[in-house]
């Protein structure tokens, strides 16, 4: 068992993702909270989206409590995994990325490379 101290807050963050440059028919993503010992806890799984050759796939915005995704530590990394949809509901991991809410605000970074090394 592990205990993480959590400050009570009502703040939410809205994240919106768009997948581009993936050569697959459908794509999903999962957001994970990083724990202090390196464990990852899944906090959100997107809907499956069809990829458009020209525009990619735009997902619905994700409204998530700051206390749930980063335990109110805006520098704590959020882990995202991107999966290619396969037949019969199976998925294959095709990329990952890590970012922080504070880093997004500070660097105004809009695009992350998340392709896995072959």
What is the domain partition of the chain in residue ranges? 12-107
Residue 105, Cβ density class (10 Å: 0-12 exposed, 13-18 middle, ≥19 buried): exposed
Sign, CA torsion 93/3/106/18: positive
Tokens representing 32? 């994970």
CATH 1.20.120 fits 12-107, yes or no: no
Q: What's the pLDDT score for residue 70?
A: 92
**pTM of the predicted protein model:** 0.85
- Residue pair 83/91 in contact (Cβ under 8 Å)? The answer is yes
Phi, psi of 67 (to 5 degrees): -65, -30
Each residue's pLDDT tens digit, 34-74? 987 889 999 999 999 999 988 889 999 999 999 999 988 99
- Residue pair 105/93 in contact (Cβ under 8 Å)? The answer is no
How many C-beta atoms surround the C-beta of residue 84 within 10 A? 19
Phi, psi of 82 (to 5 degrees): -115, 135
Q: What's the pLDDT score for residue 36?
A: 78
């Amino acid at each position: 068992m592990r205990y993480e101290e959590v400050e009570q807050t009502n703040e939410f963050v809205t994240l919106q993702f768009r997948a581009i440059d993936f050569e697959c028919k459908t794509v999903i993503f999962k957001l994970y909270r990083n724990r202090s010992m390196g464990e990852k806890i899944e906090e959100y799984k997107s809907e499956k989206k069809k990829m458009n050759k020209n525009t990619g796939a735009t997902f619905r915005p994700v409204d998530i409590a700051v206390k749930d995704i980063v335990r109110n530590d805006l520098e704590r990394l959020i882990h995202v995994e991107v999966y290619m949809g396969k037949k019969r509901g199976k998925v294959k991991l095709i990329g990952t990325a890590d970012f922080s809410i504070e880093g997004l605000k500070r660097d105004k970074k809009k695009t992350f490379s998340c392709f896995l090394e072959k």
